[in-house]
Chain A
């Protein structure tokens, strides 16, 4: 059963005289991997920032499950189940791997002052559960042995995986990945592809993806939106996009 999870219509973002995103429309189904591709500076990350509430769009409508999330502050958007990773990994570098995952559960755990100060049973249980969930995700990502290591000291590939785990532990409905394969070696890219596939199947999460790596995109995306200079060129299945002349022109230039 799939339904429209995210619907973006007429999205525009203007920075002074620059129209970074110009009238973009797309929707993401609740069981879909949707990719946005395009040359550097096409406005992909700006779309992400608008959807995630980090920018206030100049025009357009963003709706989650038919309800508008326009203008909500980013932390409220996240609480609605839209979480993201960043182009350059943003971990809490001086916190341990485990603490990174515990922080992400802030809104799920008992976070009031008094129960914590008095260590009431409810608080202890909530903390135990949070640690338990963290342990499960560390196992899932193969990061358990690093649990007490400072996140900033992890290998880059592991940092990427930890960032995805940190998103997933918030139980999102839409996982937004901003160039998750950047800086990964071929084996890690392959693992990432498997990971995204598993996340979608086992955790019922839709994935919105920005990526430059074509083999990854073509391998896992259900549909692709191609952008250039802030405008949408086309939306379609990988096969359709691959053979689209305008896309080829945008990537390779004109003959």
Chain B
């Protein structure tokens, strides 16, 4: 018991130290002067709450202990996958938007963009085990490649798309070359810096990128060269709805974007699923496990890491170009570190390396904040709480990856 009191006391003191600068000293402006006013009652209340809470910790935690035991254990992600089930899911995903509201289709498009990004990052972090905190940098490269190509050369979306992917891949390659000898935390810091450098470059290269204002008026994707607008942008041009003989509806564009995002996400899913079963995918995983053993077997670690980095970046580039087309506007604000953190959180939450898990987590982390808009201020708080709970309850992620089972012929 005495130990408990001591523990509670220390916790209360620590609370005081932490809370003091935030609540204890409040800044008050009087005209041109800023004064600091001590306000200790808040601090004392906080300390008291923590003291009592810590004293009763044992009893307070009891229900949680039961909860932890009672929680259902999720199965590991299926590997083979039922083809019929997948087809049915895709069919539902294709048909669904035609019977749904505009805002939900919009959110679904966002979810799909994040699925695509997270599957891309999953290659780097989940498969190859390279902690990349600057992934959003490649996303930005993709988005700005399209935006700049449109602004300076008048490129359309489909012409710019492969270039956006290639540019992002090139950046991944260039960054990868010097940093891939680093490991773990060091790699994380360098990639974090890279993400920031890209963003700062975009802000400061005023003459090209319009700085913080970004580039606006980026055209939406066309349907085989036909525009999806009320009126053709050039005289004499025909728009999609005129050719199809439909009346123009804004909804069409939203659904079209959704279907495109779905296609992108499916392609990413397909490619990364293939990759992980290929020699290069196996090499990524082997490298994550033991680099020295890899070298002793003749695998070139630099090349293998570079391939993961480059491919991951390429998917981010495609995602970026699509993002630019959907928003019609890009500015550096969209590519802050918090985006990288979000995408990484999706990968970790889903279960590193697990595709199904990543898709599930992307859906959760995008839809829930949209549904709970009133709590927008607490978004990061809840986010952090979810991560902590996940690490305690299921550190391997929602649907951890399962090893493939191969039947060997006799």
Chain A interface residues (CB < 8 Å from chain B): 52, 54, 73-76, 78-79, 83-84, 86, 90-96, 98-100, 102-107, 109-111, 113, 116-117, 119, 131-132, 134-135, 138, 144, 147-148, 150, 166-167, 170
Shortest C-beta distance, A171 to chain B (Å), equals 11
- Given A103-B283, A148-B403: A92 and B301 interface contact (C-beta under 8 Å): no
Which residue on chain B has the smallest CB distance to residue A95? B285
- Given A96-B404, A102-B282, A138-B408: A117 and B299 interface contact (C-beta under 8 Å): no
In the complex the two chains form, is B296's CB within 8 Å of A74's CB? yes
Which residue on chain B has the smallest CB distance to residue A102? B282
State A134–B408 Cα separation when bound (angstroms): 9
Q: Binary interface profile of B, 370-410, with partner A (CB < 8 Å = 1, else 0)?
A: 00000000000000000000000000000000011110110
Judge whether B290 is part of the interface by a CB distance below 8 angstroms: yes
Q: Binary interface profile of B, 144-176, with partner A (CB < 8 Å = 1, else 0)?
A: 000000000000000000000000000000000
- Given A92-B290, A93-B289, A111-B279: A106 and B297 interface contact (C-beta under 8 Å): yes
State A94–B404 Cα separation when bound (angstroms): 11
Closest A-B pairs by Cβ, 8 of them: A78-B298, A116-B278, A111-B279, A92-B289, A90-B293, A103-B286, A74-B295, A79-B298
Shortest C-beta distance, B287 to chain A (Å), equals 9
Please give 13 more A-B residue pairs, beta carbons under 8 A apart, in addition to A74-B296, A91-B293. A54-B292, A54-B295, A78-B298, A86-B292, A92-B286, A92-B290, A94-B285, A94-B289, A94-B403, A98-B408, A103-B299, A106-B297, A150-B403
In the complex the two chains form, is A90's CB within 8 Å of B283's CB? no
- Which residues does chain B contribute within 8 Å of A98, judged by CB atoms? 406, 408
- Which residues does chain A contribute within 8 Å of B275, judged by CB atoms? 113, 116-117
Chain B interface residues (CB < 8 Å from chain A): 271, 274-275, 278-280, 282-283, 285-286, 289-290, 292-301, 307, 403-406, 408-409
In the complex the two chains form, is B295's CB within 8 Å of A116's CB? no
State A96–B408 Cα separation when bound (angstroms): 13
Q: Which of B271, B286, B294, B295 contacts A117 (CB 8 A)?
A: B271
In the complex the two chains form, is A113's CB within 8 Å of B285's CB? no
Chain B interface main SS type: helix
- Which residues does chain B contribute within 8 Å of A167, judged by CB atoms? 297
Shortest C-beta distance, A53 to chain B (Å), equals 8
In the complex the two chains form, is A116's CB within 8 Å of B279's CB? yes
Shortest C-beta distance, A51 to chain B (Å), equals 12
State A83–B299 Cα separation when bound (angstroms): 12
Q: Which of A83, A93, A117, A138 contacts B297 (CB 8 A)?
A: A83
In the complex the two chains form, is A131's CB within 8 Å of B406's CB? yes
Shortest C-beta distance, A77 to chain B (Å), equals 8
- Which residues does chain B contribute within 8 Å of A90, judged by CB atoms? 290, 292-293, 296
In the complex the two chains form, is B299's CB within 8 Å of A135's CB? no
Shortest C-beta distance, B310 to chain A (Å), equals 10
- Given A74-B296, A103-B299: A147 and B406 interface contact (C-beta under 8 Å): yes
Shortest C-beta distance, A230 to chain B (Å), equals 23
- Given A96-B404, A98-B406, A148-B405: A84 and B280 interface contact (C-beta under 8 Å): no
In the complex the two chains form, is B297's CB within 8 Å of A104's CB? yes
State A106–B278 Cα separation when bound (angstroms): 10
Q: Which of A74, A98, A134 has the most CB of B within 10 A?
A: A74
Q: Which of B274, B298, B300, B403 contacts A95 (CB 8 A)?
A: B403
- Which residues does chain B contribute within 8 Å of A147, judged by CB atoms? 406, 408
In the complex the two chains form, is A75's CB within 8 Å of B293's CB? no
In the complex the two chains form, is A95's CB within 8 Å of B282's CB? yes
Shortest C-beta distance, B83 to chain A (Å), equals 15
- Given A83-B296, A117-B275: A99 and B403 interface contact (C-beta under 8 Å): yes
24 sample A-B contacts, Cβ–Cβ < 8 Å, listed by A number? A54-B295, A73-B300, A75-B298, A78-B297, A79-B298, A86-B293, A90-B293, A91-B290, A92-B289, A93-B289, A94-B289, A96-B404, A96-B405, A99-B286, A99-B403, A104-B297, A106-B298, A107-B298, A113-B278, A116-B275, A131-B406, A131-B408, A148-B405, A150-B403
- Which residues does chain A contribute within 8 Å of B307, judged by CB atoms? 113
Shortest C-beta distance, B309 to chain A (Å), equals 14
Q: Which of A83, A91, A109, A150 contacts B279 (CB 8 A)?
A: A109
Shortest C-beta distance, B347 to chain A (Å), equals 17
Shortest C-beta distance, A226 to chain B (Å), equals 25
Q: Which of B285, B289, B298 contacts A83 (CB 8 A)?
A: B298
State A113–B299 Cα separation when bound (angstroms): 16
Which residue on chain A has the smallest CB distance to residue B298? A78
State A167–B271 Cα separation when bound (angstroms): 31
In the complex the two chains form, is A75's CB within 8 Å of B408's CB? no
State A86–B297 Cα separation when bound (angstroms): 12
- Which residues does chain A contribute within 8 Å of B301, judged by CB atoms? 75
